[in-house]
Amino acid sequence: MALAEGRKPDDRYRAAAEKAVYFILTQQHNDGGWRYNPNLNEGSDTSVSGWQVLALKTAQEAKFQVTDDCLTRLVEFFKRCELDGSPPGRTGYQPGHAISDATTGVGMLVHAFILHKPADPLMHDASAYLADLAERSWKVEGNPGRDAYRGKGDFYTWYNCTLGMCQAGGENWKRWNDVVRDMIIKLQIVDKDRCTEGSWDPEGRWDSEGGRIYCTALAILTLEVYYRYKSDQARVYADLRKEEK
């Protein structure tokens, strides 16, 4: 943030961030990803690895050193997790193993943030798949009350995939955003007689593990995706236009 604002970073924060980046690099597993424990021989998963993708992307923006070897191994791991068959564009939890559609969004982030290929065929296929998923799973016709939306929450999928879909852009991003944005807004508690007003209930998939704070945090992060990440797609296209000139 300091660099983006054109000011000198606080040395304390920079030192802490350098240690955090170093720790991430040392904990990369032998297969190129990350997992829930420090056993580097254990197979990684794209969910834990996805958080490291975001951290390493931020580290690069802050001018911290991220080794080419780390990024190469990361990309190779995610490549092995891309799922064959129809529909195309999906990324599994582990190689050949799908648990959640959230990891398809994480796969998109690797192509956008690490490979800087927002127009890659995987991005196109994944965005089409996720746009269809949103309209099939969460679209509610008309303008019903909040009860019509309850039980449909999937905040982890919404967060990861909104990040990826925003980078992909285009009509599929609009289709996704029109559904998911409205769903999240409708699910927020607005009852002034409840102490939980302004939060989101933990009623969807994975929510019991995280609770109300987890759901509320992911809802807020999803709704502010537009403001936190400059589209790498726009950046790449701008660079291409400069080269053409």
For 175-226, how does the pLDDT look when each residue is reduced to its tens digit (9 = 90+)? 999 999 999 999 999 988 889 999 999 988 888 889 999 999 999 999 998 8
Tell the residue number behind the tokens 């939980």, with chain if given: 196
CA distances for 114 relative to 13, 71, 76, 108, 110, angstroms: 24, 7, 12, 10, 5
- Alpha-carbon distance of 44 to 95, in angstroms, equals 9
Domain-wise residue ranges, the chain: 123-245
pTM passes above 0.85:
yes
Of 97 and 146, the one with more pLDDT:
97
pLDDT for residue 244 is more than 80: no
**Hey, what are 99's tokens?**
């648990």
pLDDT for residue 245 is more than 90: no
Q: Which of 106-110, 166-170, 236-240 has the lowest mean pLDDT?
A: 236-240
CA distances for 171 relative to 88, 131, 178, angstroms: 18, 9, 11
Handedness of CA 9, 60, 174, 78 (dihedral sign): negative
Percentage above 90 pLDDT, the chain: 71
Q: What is the pLDDT of residues 101-127, one digit of tens each?
A: 999 999 999 999 999 998 899 999 999
Q: Which residues contact 195 (CB under 8 A, 6 or more apart)?
A: none
What's residue 238's pLDDT?
Answer: 45
